[in-house]
Copies of this chain bind each other. A is one copy, B any other.
C-alpha cells in the first residue's frame, strides 16, 4: 500500500538521523549513552517527526524531495524531546510506570539517577540539533517554537497540572487542558516547525496547529477509552493503569459513549481544517490511523 510505503520510508529517514545524532554504541562506556539509545530506540512510531516531514512535503507540493535533509535537525529535536518527556514521566515520583511499549522503562533498566540525567541530556540534545539548521533565521525560529511548546506554558505546564490533579477528581476542562498541553503542544510545534522551514503564511501555521491540537486531544481521549476497556494490544502497556492510579479520565468523567463521540467530533474538526488543502492525503491518513484505534 502506497501510504504505508510513504510512512516506512520517512520513518527510515528519521531512524537514521536519530542514530547519527547519538553516540555510537561502541563508544558507550558510560551507561547514560546506553540509556539514551535505549529510550530513543524502543519502538516509537516517530509520529512527531513524520508529521513535520509530511506537512512540509504537503506545503512544498512534493517537489524537491532531496531537500528533506534540511528537516532532519527538526525531526530529531522533536523526537529527542518527546523521548525525554517520556523518561521523566515514567519516573517513580511522577507516573511510576515500570513499562513503556512492553519493555522496562528507563529507570527500571538503568536506575533513577541515570534516567533523570538521560532525560536532561536528550532535552539538551534536542536544542543542540536545531543549531544544525543551515538558515540561521529558521534555526532560531525553530528553537523558539520548540522551547515555548516544551515550557511551562506548554508540555511541562501540562505535566505540572497533571501532577497537581493526580488522585483527585477534576473537572473535564482541567483534563482537557492537561491533554492539550501534555500531548497537543508538541504536536502543534511539529506543524509550526514545518511551517517555519517552509516559510508558510501565519494563517496556514495556525490552521495546521489547530489540526494537530484536535488530533492530539482525540488521541488522548482514545487512550483513556482503551485503558478503560482494557485493550492491552492497542496500548502497549498494562490497561486499567488510570483507574489503578485513581486518575481522572474522559470515560470516568463523562462516560464511555460521550467520550467516543467527543473523540470522533475532534477528528472531524481536524479533517475540516485541512480538507481544502492540496496534497493533504498523509494528514488525512493520520486522522484515519487514530480513528482506527477507537474500539
Contacts and interface: CB of A to CB of B under 8 A. Distances in A.
A121 B163 CA distance: 15
A260 interface: no
A121 B164 CA distance: 16
A152 B23 CA distance: 9
B93 A156 contact: no
Contacts of A30: 152, 157, 160-161, 164
Given A139-B140, A147-B131, A161-B30, A156 B114 contact: no
Contacts of A199: none
Given A120-B119, A156-B121, A114 B147 contact: no
A147 B160 contact: no
Contacts of A159: 117
Contacts of A33: 152
A137 interface: yes
Contacts of A150: 120, 124
A113 B32 contact: no
A124 B121 contact: no
Nearest to A32: B160
Given A31-B160, A116-B116, A140-B139, A152 B121 contact: yes
A151 interface: yes
Contacts of A144: 128, 131
A88 interface: yes
Contacts of A116: 88, 91, 93-94, 116
Contacts of A113: 91, 93-94, 163
A32 B156 contact: yes
A112 B128 contact: no
B88 A121 contact: no
A236 interface: no
A127 interface: yes
A237 interface: no
A23 B143 CA distance: 20
A125 interface: yes
* Pairs of residues from A and B, 5 with the lowest C-beta to C-beta distance, nearest first: A128-B147, A93-B112, A32-B160, A136-B136, A131-B144
30 contacts: A30-B157, A30-B160, A30-B161, A31-B160, A31-B164, A32-B152, A36-B152, A84-B120, A88-B117, A88-B120, A91-B113, A93-B111, A93-B112, A93-B116, A94-B113, A114-B160, A117-B159, A119-B120, A120-B123, A121-B151, A121-B156, A124-B127, A125-B147, A127-B127, A127-B143, A131-B143, A131-B144, A136-B137, A139-B140, A143-B143
Given A31-B160, A136-B140, 18 more contacts: A30-B160, A31-B164, A32-B152, A32-B157, A91-B113, A93-B111, A113-B163, A117-B160, A117-B163, A124-B127, A124-B156, A128-B143, A128-B147, A128-B148, A131-B143, A131-B147, A136-B136, A136-B137
